[in-house]
């Protein structure tokens, strides 16, 4: 069981990186200087919010429903960014993998 939990933690970390990369990608596809700024600022805003509310050493750690809602919006932002950039299939894959990973994590905790 410890191995499965470790694998899921690695998958969650990779998903977090994928969300940040998706927002940066969206900004770059937006075009021009504005797109670059959107991508960099959006990525920074998401990273900061994760650090404040959801990281293992979060300053304002969320629990229960608040954590679930935060993660829904946070991971949803990555899927929405990919969809907005025109990568519809990748948006669906990211969303499905996020949901599957979170469901497995919740099932292991129960």
Q: Is the overall model pTM greater than 0.95, yes or no?
A: no
What number is the average pLDDT over the span 70-88?
94
H-assigned helices in the chain: 2-30, 32-53, 64-84, 88-109
| Residue 74, pLDDT score | 93
At 6-40, the pLDDT tens digits run 887 888 899 999 999 999 999 999 888 888 999 99
Instruction: Tell me the pLDDT of the chain averaged across its residues.
Output: 90
What number is the average pLDDT over the span 84-109?
89
Residue 76 has which token pair? 């949803």
Show the domain range for 17.
2-109
What distances in angstroms separate CA 92 from CA 50, 62, 64, 97, 103, one per listed residue?
Answer: 22, 26, 25, 9, 16
Check: CB of residue 19 under 8 Å from CB of residue 94.
yes
Domain count, the chain: 1
Closest CA to 81 of 66, 98, 64: 98
Neighbours of 37 (CB within 10 A): 12
What number is the average pLDDT over the span 64-72?
90
* Proportion of the chain above pLDDT 70, given as a percent: 97
- Answer yes or no: is pLDDT of 1 > 80: no
Q: Indicate the SS3 state at residue 86.
A: coil
């Amino acid at each position: 069981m410890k191995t499965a939990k470790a694998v899921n933690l690695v998958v969650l970390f990779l998903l977090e990186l994928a969300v940040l990369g998706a927002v940066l990608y969206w900004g770059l596809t937006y075009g021009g200087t504005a797109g670059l700024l959107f991508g960099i600022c959006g990525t920074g805003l998401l990273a900061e919010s994760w650090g404040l509310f959801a990281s293992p050493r979060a300053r304002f750690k969320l629990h229960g429903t608040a954590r679930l809602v935060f993660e829904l919006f946070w991971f949803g932002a990555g899927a929405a960014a990919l969809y907005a950039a025109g990568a519809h299939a990748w948006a669906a894959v990211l969303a499905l993998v996020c949901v599957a990973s979170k469901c497995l994590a919740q099932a292991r905790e129960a």
